[in-house]
Structure 1
Amino acid sequence: MNKTIKHQLKHRSIREFKDQEISKEDLNIFKEVIQRTATSTGVQSYSVIRVVDKENRKKIAEVCKQSYVEIAPELFIFIVDCYRNNEIVKEKTRKSYEQAYDMEKFFQGFTDAALASQNLMNAIESKDMGGVFLGSILNDSKEIINILKLPEYTFPVLGVAFGYPNQDPMLKPRMDMDLRFFEDEYKIFDNYLDEIKDYDEEMKTYYDLRQKDKPLDSFSEQLIQRFENTLEKRTLILNVIKEQGFDFKLK
């Protein structure tokens, strides 16, 4: 098994980092990895914002409700970016096309941003660093847009905080792939609680370093908590996307 796969198989979210800067050389390597990530139809409709400003870091940490976001050595925010390509076409043709900000372009950019963030994480871990994905920037997507001064036809997707690990968390249990990997067609099970019975028990042996004194609840209980405690601003994300100029042509 090669080194890349070994890193991938032991992926863990790192939330506490050493007070150690990442070299400019490594940052440039990470930028090149992002640049070379596969992109839908080659249009590269995403961008990345490296957040250095301390005040902006503080504001983003407040949105995420995660203090480590403020003090992590590096923070990259990946965004859908259809603004740039729209401007290129406008300058070239003196025209504006509705297709520049339709549903297809939005999801192209969203997918590209997600792929690039995972590619970055692979590179981070290959350098014996660690990081954490921050879907929590969507706790208040409108505020993130304001903080980063995002123009129309852009939208935040995901954050990645990273640096040299100062913790050694347990490898978090995962659901059996028989429930998530199918051939030819989607498989529906008669009783999902029976299928995840062992996984439910295994999850209760995992200690999250954010709550060191107690193991997690079973997976099924965690799902219930997630469904019962949905953040209202997350349920309104589609409205924010529309305010950013994207036209989903919903009937």
Structure 2
Amino acid sequence: MNKTIEILKNRRSYRDFDENHVITKEDLQEILDAARQAPSWMNGQFYSIIVIQEKKLREQLVKWNPGNPHMLKSSVFLLFIGDLHRTKMVSTAHESVYPINESIEPILLATTDAALALENAVIATESLGLGSVVVGSIRKNGKEISQLLELPEYTFPLFGLSFGKPTVEMKVKPRLPEPAVVHYDRYHPYAYTLIEQYNQTMEAFGEARETKRWSQKFSDYFATEPIILTEQLLKFQHLLK
């Protein structure tokens, strides 16, 4: 099998890292360079990456998000932010208007670009024999994080990435049945039994941190008011009216 495809198909999340393992500056730079080379809409690169090095900053992140202690214990923690501040500077320099509060499109662009950069970083990390885990729940404290890290106007935290040397081996997590995800030429309806099948697959997988069936977890999630306060954060950052 092609080595890159092998890495992609065997990727899994690690949450336990060797606290004493130090990643070389060269390896960190390789990961950052790989992230920055990700595809980007019109080459706009509507994101920034913050390498969180100070221990006190990482401790504060864990205080806000105690379910993710690896943000402190991993060798490196990266924060990916949607960055529309840069293009605001461009608009100012060109003396043009910047009406990004009139559409959700700029936020989608920034989020997509950041996600592509994040995935490049994940695969680069895996290729170096390291492990990683994506942290989306940082958005619960997006406003506080923005203040802590002195993020400028028109930026917003999206997700983090902890990586280092894993101390606990993890199994590759099963994905939804292919017919529920991959369609050819047009969207093809499928029976709900595929989702029930996936419920059974995940129960057999037996991930300890999962306390609900897959379908129940997302039924509950979308039935309640979101706790990921992206909209409120964007209002705070003056992106939405």
Q: What SS is found at the alignment partner of 1:12?
A: coil
Distance 1:169 1:231 in 2: 32
Q: What SS is found at the alignment partner of 2:79?
A: strand
Relative to structure 1, the CA distance from residue 88 to residue 220 in structure 2 (aligned partners, 3 Å threshold; closer, same or farther) is: closer
Deviation at 1:232, TM superposition (A): 5.1
Distance 1:60 1:96 in 2: 37
Match of 2:234 among 216, 229, 241: 241
Cα pair 1:203 1:217 within 8 Å, conserved: no
- Work out the percentage of aligned pairs sharing the same amino acid: 30
Given the alignment of the two structures, is residue 204 of structure 1 paired with residue 206 of structure 2, yes or no? Answer: no
Q: What SS is found at the alignment partner of 1:205?
A: helix
Residue 86 of structure 1 corresponds to which residue in structure 2?
A: 88
Distance 2:26 2:91 in 1: 34
Structure 2 matches for 1:155-170, cutoff 5 A?
Answer: 155-170=156-171
Structure 2 matches for 1:27-176, cutoff 5 A?
Answer: 27-65=28-66, 66-90=68-92, 92-93=93-94, 95-99=95-99, 103-176=104-177
Q: What SS is found at the alignment partner of 2:205?
A: coil
Unaligned runs of 5+ in 2: none
Deviation at 1:247, TM superposition (A): 3.8
Match of 2:221 among 217, 222, 226: 226
Distance 2:100 2:139 in 1: 23
Cα pair 1:203 1:216 within 8 Å, conserved: no
Distance 1:203 1:144 in 2: 34
Cα pair 2:35 2:119 within 8 Å, conserved: no
Give the alignment's TM-score, normalised by structure 1: 0.86
Distance 2:148 2:29 in 1: 25
Q: Which amino acid aligns with 2:97?
A: Y
Distance 2:147 2:96 in 1: 25
Aligned length: 238
Unaligned runs of 5+ in 1: none
Cα pair 2:80 2:159 within 8 Å, conserved: yes
Given the alignment of the two structures, is residue 2 of structure 1 paired with residue 2 of structure 2, yes or no? Answer: yes
Distance 1:64 1:96 in 2: 40
Distance 1:224 1:44 in 2: 34
Deviation at 1:225, TM superposition (A): 4.4
Relative to structure 1, the CA distance from residue 59 to residue 137 in structure 2 (aligned partners, 3 Å threshold; closer, same or farther) is: same
Distance 1:231 1:163 in 2: 34
Distance 1:84 1:217 in 2: 42
Distance 2:97 2:105 in 1: 13
Q: Which amino acid aligns with 2:231?
A: L
Residue 11 of structure 2 corresponds to which residue in structure 1?
A: 11
Q: What SS is found at the alignment partner of 2:235?
A: helix
Deviation at 1:88, TM superposition (A): 3.4
Distance 2:123 2:11 in 1: 9
Give the alignment's TM-score, normalised by structure 2: 0.89
Q: What SS is found at the alignment partner of 1:76?
A: strand
Residue 185 of structure 1 corresponds to which residue in structure 2?
A: 186
Cα pair 1:132 1:160 within 8 Å, conserved: yes
